[in-house]
Chain A
Amino acid sequence: AQKITQTQPGMFVQEKEAVTLDCTYDTSDQSYGLFWYKQPSSGEMIFLIYQGSYDEQNATEGRYSLNFQKARKSANLVISASQLGDSAMYFCAMREPLPNFGNEKLTFGTGTRLTIIP
Chain B
Amino acid sequence: DADVTQTPRNRITKTGKRIMLECSQTKGHDRMYWYRQDPGLGLRLIYYSFDVKDINKGEISDGYSVSRQAQAKFSLSLESAIPNQTALYFCATGSGTGELFFGEGSRLTVL
Contact = CB atoms under 8 A, between A and B. Distances in A.
A44 B43 contact: no
Given A100-B54, A108-B43, A35 B104 contact: no
Contacts of A9: 40
A38 to B, nearest CB: 11
Nearest to A97: B98
Interface residues of A, number: 24
Given A35-B98, A44-B102, A100 B56 contact: yes
Interface string B41-71: 1111100101000101010000000000000
Nearest to B35: A108
Contacts of B92: 45
A35 B102 contact: no
Interface in B11-28: none
Contact of B33 (A105, A110, A111): A105
Nearest to B33: A105
B102 A45 contact: yes
Contacts of B58: 105
Contact of A91 (B42, B54, B88): B42
Interface of B: 31, 33, 35, 40-45, 48, 50, 54, 56, 58, 88, 90, 92, 94, 96-102, 104-105, 107
Interface of A: 4, 9, 33, 35, 43-45, 47, 50, 91, 93, 95, 98, 100, 102-111
